[in-house]
Structure 1
Amino acid sequence: MPSSYYLAELSATEMREAAARKPVILLPMGSFEDQGPHAPMGDYMSADRVARLIAEQASAEGTETYVAPVVPFGGADYFGYMPGGIALSQSTLRAVVDDMLECLLRHNLTRVVFINGHAGNCGVINDATQKVWLDKGIIIPALYLWRVSYALLPEIIGKEMAAKTSGHGCNPLTSIVMHLFPDLVRPEYMPSGTPAPREVWGLPVTGFTSLAIGEGSITVPLDGGDTIRNGVSKGDPHLCTAQTGAALVEKLIRIGADVAAHVVSHSDPETGKAIL
């Protein structure tokens, strides 16, 4: 086996040998933005680390898997208020994703999985992979880490605690960072308690770009800094723990390894086309 799970660390010889075996290649993506006043801005680091752990688990179970270099800058949405943050326009990100896929598919590296850590990347990934499906009959799945983690929280810490801790700047990401990068969390900067309800434009805030009106809601073209203070919404980050993060990461690794194995078992080994 090659010397690393990271493609960037393989020699050209190792890469050519691995490519001939048609391995699974994970494409980690994240963002570089406000994750709350206490957490490192680079959530791409968590996506990259989880991808590596998935590659290790999948490979140990017989599904040869590698991790491509992480895309650190997410698709721009509503975090432009953050000084120092860097994001790509949706059109630029789409061009980047299209080019990444074209480079891999050119060499018949068709067993690809996105490991995504940013909501602003979801639309681009969906559109780019749908085009590959329509043009080539190849299914490229995406594992959106935080969406899956939100769904796992009630099982791990109970429904009541999940409700108290879930939200941007809280669970799941804060707990996961506490587990993966404990030295980068700054508890002294955590805001106290659950954020108080806010009103903007005369309406209650329900999300970074959503406001309640009557029995319904509307979306508005505001920056996140206009609606959510300190990048923390709904939950209390003081209730996040490294133990919760460890449990989430363990489940994400299991799911990711299962996805890698499924991609292999449900794709033609020669053409890469999906076996439906």
Structure 2
Amino acid sequence: MTLKKIVHMAQMTAADMREVAQRNPVILLPLGSFEDQGPHMPMGDYLLADAIAERIALAAMQEGCETYVAPVLPFGGADYFGYMPGGIALSQTTLRAVIEDMLGNLIRHGFTKLIILNGHGGNCTMIHDVTQSILKKNHIIIPSFYLWRVAAAYLPAVVGEEKAKQSGGHGANPLTSIALYLKPDLVKTENLKQQALDKKAWGLPVLDFGTVELNGVPISIPLEGDQTATQGIGRGNPYLCDGKTGEALTDHLVKIGVKLIKHLLEQ
């Protein structure tokens, strides 16, 4: 029987970690959120970010690139989901401090080959601010990529332009398809619901989270997601999501992740 290689730092012993630290391997830092992902989806999309990070690390190891996964940050930066009972989000100020501390602790002990795998749109601004600050102070470039944005960009190549347009959005593709592939037991398809296409907020047609339309122009308004979405579903029809699509998107994310690791090591 072939034992699965341990790549999660949380599963390693202190002795293992001291030995690994001497080699300054690549460390992946997955970030996610704990919010409304739609009535059919588990609230913790961080589970998917962590699962993809593990797959990237294992694939990189197979290609000779020593890579480990730091403990996932399950709480994302607050944006549109404060309405959700049980949801937990960090203020942007707190998120910045947490990311600074997480990266700072790794850098302190000589880990300089760091990559952020982001699974939440509300994290993007603080990731940029913190990594830019580290670049200025420590002269270390910490790349990151927003997993679901990359997957969404690849979606038309998997399902075609029209289906991608119809199914793409919060609570639908790409996240629902990826969940149906990676965590199918946590997706309750009997709860599937489509967005109310005629929904209005502030007296105007809804385009997306926090965005309405006025004379064909998108206008941002500071409303939470329950006023501009339908139970966590924004644009996109989740009925068009499936595990086969999720498998193709996951494979693409893993390949991109390994390419990024190789490029980081070349630098």
TM-score range, shorter chain: over 0.9
What's the CA shift for 1:236? Answer: 1.2
**1:199-254 CA distance string (max 9 Å, x none):** 11111111111111124222111111111111112211111000000000000000
The offset of 1:3, in angstroms, is 5.4
Among all aligned residue pairs of Structure 1 and Structure 2, give the percentage whose two residues are the same amino acid.
52
Q: 5 Å matches for 1:1-276?
A: 4-192=6-194, 195-266=196-267
Q: CA RMSD in A?
A: 1.2
Q: Secondary structure at the match of 2:205?
A: strand
| TM-score, length-scaled by structure 2 | 0.96
C-alpha contact (below 8 Å) 1:53/1:253 kept by paired residues: yes
Task: In structure 1, give the amino acid aligned to 2:116.
Answer: F
Inter-partner Cα distance in structure 2 for 1:35 and 1:88: 17
Task: Count matched residues.
Answer: 264
- Does structure 2 conserve the Cα–Cα contact (< 8 Å) formed by 1:195 and 1:235? no
CA distance in structure 2 between the aligned counterparts of 1:3 and 1:241, rounded to whole angstroms: 29
Deviating more after overlay: 79-88 vs 201-210: 201-210
| Residues 207 and 235, structure 2, Cα contact 8 Å, conserved in 1 | no
Residue segments in structure 1 that go unaligned for 5+ positions in a row: 267-276
| Separation in structure 2 between the aligned mates of residue 11 and residue 36 of structure 1, nearest angstrom | 38
Matched to 1:139, the amino acid is I
Q: Is the 8 A contact 2:5 2:58 kept in 1?
A: no
2:219 and 2:165 map into 1 onto residues whose CA distance is 23
Task: Measure, in 2, the Cα distance between the counterparts of 1:233 and 1:171.
Answer: 10
Q: Could you tell me which runs of 5 or more consecutive residues in structure 2 were left unpaired when the two chains were aligned.
A: none
Ranges of 4+ aligned residues in structure 1 off by more than 4 Å: none
Query: TM-score, with normalisation over the residues of structure 1?
Result: 0.93
Amino acid at match of 1:245: G
In structure 2, C-alpha distance between the alignment counterparts of 1:72 and 1:136, rounded to whole Å: 27
Task: Kindly indicate whether the alpha-carbon contact (under 8 Å) linking 1:5 and 1:56 is maintained by their aligned counterparts in 2.
Answer: yes
Instruction: Verify the 8 A CA contact 1:3 1:10 in the aligned structure 2.
Output: no
Instruction: Give the SS at the match of 2:218.
Output: strand
The Cα shift of 1:197 comes to 2.6
